């Protein structure tokens, strides 16, 4: 059976690196890597969902990144250990690339420029996330999430509300209350698989 390689990877990676790619399926709850372990692979999420998480000083998990498609562990490319855990929240498929080969491939100027462009897009996404986390009001965080991550005022839910609460830095109880308040105010409609903003 041929290995499925997404177009993004086909257009990004040199042929030599593509030949070293392997597929790895994962189930909900699986760890792709553990904090403190030596990085051996870069992971590209083809399907499913993976979160990067780390415990705060009280031992509570904090979601650093949620990935429904694309690379995770870019920050570990030039480090000695993974800085967090990668845990699957939905079953799916990943493509693995040996980190030592990826480092070697970055010596090529054409590939390194493509890699920088990819990281630039990720930085913009993280800035948006940081802006949201800096908001004090939970309703504002939720509206911001729908406007930036949704389409035409509708955010399709690819994970449960508890995961969403962790992503925006609030408790799930507080998120449920905010959704309920926005519904009562006529600003939001909650569908089984989406949240829709109502604009008057």
Examine the pLDDT at 121 and tell me if it is beyond 70.
yes
For 71-88, the pLDDT digits (tens) are 988 888 889 999 999 999
Of 132, 155, 188, the residue that ends a domain is 132
Domain-located, residue 2: no
Distance CA(167)–CA(133), nearest Å, equals: 9
Domain-located, residue 1: no
1 confidence band (pLDDT: 50, 70, 90) = very low
Q: Both 117 and 189 in a single domain?
A: no
For 38-67, the pLDDT digits (tens) are 999 999 999 998 999 998 888 888 888 888
How many separate domains does the chain show? 2
Q: Both 81 and 145 in a single domain?
A: no
Of 84, 108, 132, the residue that ends a domain is 132
The confidence score (pLDDT) of residue 126 equals 81
Q: Both 40 and 60 in a single domain?
A: yes
For 4-48, the pLDDT digits (tens) are 888 989 999 999 999 999 999 999 999 999 999 999 999 999 999
């Amino acid at each position: 059976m041929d290995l499925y390689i997404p177009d993004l990877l086909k257009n990004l990676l040199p042929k030599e690196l593509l030949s070293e790619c392997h597929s790895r399926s994962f189930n909900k709850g699986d760890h792709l890597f553990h904090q403190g372990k030596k990085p051996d692979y870069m992971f590209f999420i083809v399907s499913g969902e993976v979160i990067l998480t780390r415990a705060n000083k009280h031992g509570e998990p904090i979601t650093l990144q949620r990935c429904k498609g694309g690379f995770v562990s870019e920050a570990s490319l030039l480090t000695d250990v993974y800085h967090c855990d990668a845990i699957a929240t939905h079953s799916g498929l990943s493509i693995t690339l040996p980190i030592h080969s990826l480092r070697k491939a970055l010596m090529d100027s054409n590939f390194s420029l493509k890699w920088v462009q990819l990281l630039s897009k990720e930085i913009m996404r993280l800035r948006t996330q940081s802006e949201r986390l800096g908001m004090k009001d939970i309703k504002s965080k939720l509206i911001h999430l729908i406007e930036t991550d949704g389409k035409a005022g509708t955010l399709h839910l690819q994970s449960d509300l508890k995961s969403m609460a962790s992503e925006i830095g609030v408790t799930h109880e507080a998120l449920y209350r905010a959704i309920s308040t926005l519904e009562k105010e006529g600003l939001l409609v909650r569908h089984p698989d989406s949240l829709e903003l109502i604009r008057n």
